[in-house]
Chain A
Amino acid sequence: MAASTEPWINFDVGLLIDRFWANTVNGLAYGSIYALVALGYTLVYGVLQLINFAHSEIFILGVFGVYLTFLALGFEPGAIPDLPLGFIIVDLVLAGLVGMAVSGFAAVLLERTAYRPLRRRNAPRLAFLITAIGASFVLQQVIRIWRGSNPEGTIRLLPPSPVFTIFGAPVTNLQIIIFLASLAMFFVADTFVNRSRLGRGIRAVAQDPNTATLMGVNRERVITITFLVGGVLAGVAGLFYLMTIPQGAVYNGGFLLGIKAFTAAVLGGIGNLRGALLGGLILGVAENYGQSLFGGDWRDIVAFVLLVVVLMFRPTGILGESLARSRA
Chain B
Amino acid sequence: MTMRERMAQVSTFWNARSRFQQWGLLIPVVVFLLWLPVLNPPIITTEPATDFPIALFNAAVLALIAIGLNVVIGQAGLLDLGYVGFFAIGAYTTALLSSPDSLLGVRYPWLVIVPIAMLVTMISGVILGTPTLRLRGDYLAIVTLGFGEIVRLLADNIDPLRGNRGFQNIARPEASYPDGSPVFTQTDVLGFYWLAVCLIVIVLMLMGNLERSRVGRAWIAVREDEDAAELTGVPTYRFKIWAFAIGAAVGGLSGSLFAAQVGYVNNQRFDVATSILYLAAVVLGGAGNKVGVIVGAFLVSYIPDRFQFEPQYRFLVFGVALMVLMAFRPQGLLGMRQHLLAYGREAYQKLFGVRTGVAPSGMTPSTRAEGDLPETTPDDHAGTSPRGGGE
Count class of interface residues, chain A: 35 or more
Cβ of B137 under 8 Å from chain A: yes
Q: B283 and A131: CB pair below 8 A?
A: no
Q: A141 and B319: CB pair below 8 A?
A: yes
Q: A308 and B131: CB pair below 8 A?
A: yes
Partner-binding segment picked from B34-42, B151-159, B250-258: B151-159
Which single residue of chain A is at the shortest CB-CB distance from B131? A312
Cβ of A152 under 8 Å from chain B: no
A259-306 CB contacts (< 8 Å) to partner B: 259, 262-263, 266, 297-298, 300-301, 304-305
B79 contacts across to A, CB distance below 8 A: 126, 129-130
A262 to B158, CA, bound (A): 26
Q: A138 and B316: CB pair below 8 A?
A: yes
Task: With A298-B157, A308-B143 as known contacts, state yes or no: A129 contacts B138, CB within 8 Å.
Answer: yes
A127 contacts across to B, CB distance below 8 A: 326, 330
Task: With A138-B316, A141-B312 as known contacts, state yes or no: A131 contacts B159, CB within 8 Å.
Answer: no
A137 to B132, CA, bound (A): 25
Minimal beta-carbon separation of B137 from chain A (angstroms): 7
A4 to B279, CA, bound (A): 39
Q: B159 and A133: CB pair below 8 A?
A: no
Q: A307 and B146: CB pair below 8 A?
A: yes
Cβ of B44 under 8 Å from chain A: no
Q: B316 and A311: CB pair below 8 A?
A: no
Q: A137 and B316: CB pair below 8 A?
A: yes
Q: B322 and A131: CB pair below 8 A?
A: yes
Which single residue of chain A is at the shortest CB-CB distance from B272? A255
Count class of interface residues, chain B: 35 or more
Minimal beta-carbon separation of B92 from chain A (angstroms): 15
B137 contacts across to A, CB distance below 8 A: 125-126, 129
Contact of A130 among B132, B135, B156, B283 (CB under 8 A): B283
Q: In terms of DSSP, what is the predominant structure of the interface of chain B?
A: helix
Minimal beta-carbon separation of B314 from chain A (angstroms): 9
Q: A130 and B322: CB pair below 8 A?
A: yes
Task: With A8-B158, A118-B327 as known contacts, state yes or no: A133 contacts B322, CB within 8 Å.
Answer: yes
A266 to B283, CA, bound (A): 27
A149 to B273, CA, bound (A): 15
Q: A134 and B315: CB pair below 8 A?
A: no
B139 contacts across to A, CB distance below 8 A: 266, 311, 315
Cβ of B320 under 8 Å from chain A: yes
Minimal beta-carbon separation of B147 from chain A (angstroms): 8
Minimal beta-carbon separation of A266 from chain B (angstroms): 7
Cβ of B49 under 8 Å from chain A: no
Minimal beta-carbon separation of B279 from chain A (angstroms): 7
Which single residue of chain A is at the shortest CB-CB distance from B287? A126
A242 to B326, CA, bound (A): 34
Cβ of B230 under 8 Å from chain A: no
Cβ of A225 under 8 Å from chain B: no
Cβ of B211 under 8 Å from chain A: no
B158 contacts across to A, CB distance below 8 A: 8-9
Q: B326 and A130: CB pair below 8 A?
A: yes
Q: B316 and A142: CB pair below 8 A?
A: yes
Cβ of B149 under 8 Å from chain A: yes
Q: A123 and B326: CB pair below 8 A?
A: yes
Q: A315 and B135: CB pair below 8 A?
A: yes
A288 to B132, CA, bound (A): 25
Q: A131 and B141: CB pair below 8 A?
A: no
Minimal beta-carbon separation of A231 from chain B (angstroms): 19
Cβ of A151 under 8 Å from chain B: no
A142 to B315, CA, bound (A): 10
Contact of A2 among B103, B138, B276, B312 (CB under 8 A): B103
Contact flags (1/0) for A42-57 with B, using CB distance below 8 Å?
0000000111000000
Q: Which of A8, A9, A134 has the most CB of B within 10 A?
A: A134
Which single residue of chain B is at the shortest CB-CB distance from A300? B153
Cβ of B182 under 8 Å from chain A: no
Cβ of A160 under 8 Å from chain B: no
Q: A259 and B315: CB pair below 8 A?
A: no
Contact of A126 among B77, B135, B156, B276 (CB under 8 A): B77
A141 contacts across to B, CB distance below 8 A: 312-313, 315-316, 319
Which single residue of chain B is at the shortest CB-CB distance from A8? B159
Which single residue of chain B is at the shortest CB-CB distance from A145? B312
Contacts A129-B137, A259-B149 given; 13 further ones with Cβ under 8 A?
A: A1-B103, A2-B159, A2-B160, A8-B158, A8-B159, A130-B322, A135-B323, A137-B316, A140-B315, A141-B316, A255-B272, A307-B142, A308-B131
Residues of B within 8 A of A (CB): 77, 79, 81, 103, 131-132, 134-139, 141-143, 145-147, 149-150, 153-154, 156-160, 272-273, 276, 279, 283, 312-313, 315-316, 318-323, 326-327, 330
A-B contact pairs, 29 of them (CB 8 A): A1-B103, A1-B159, A8-B159, A8-B160, A114-B323, A117-B327, A123-B330, A129-B79, A130-B279, A131-B327, A134-B321, A134-B326, A137-B315, A141-B312, A141-B315, A141-B316, A144-B312, A145-B316, A149-B312, A259-B145, A262-B142, A266-B139, A297-B153, A297-B157, A300-B149, A301-B150, A308-B132, A311-B131, A311-B135
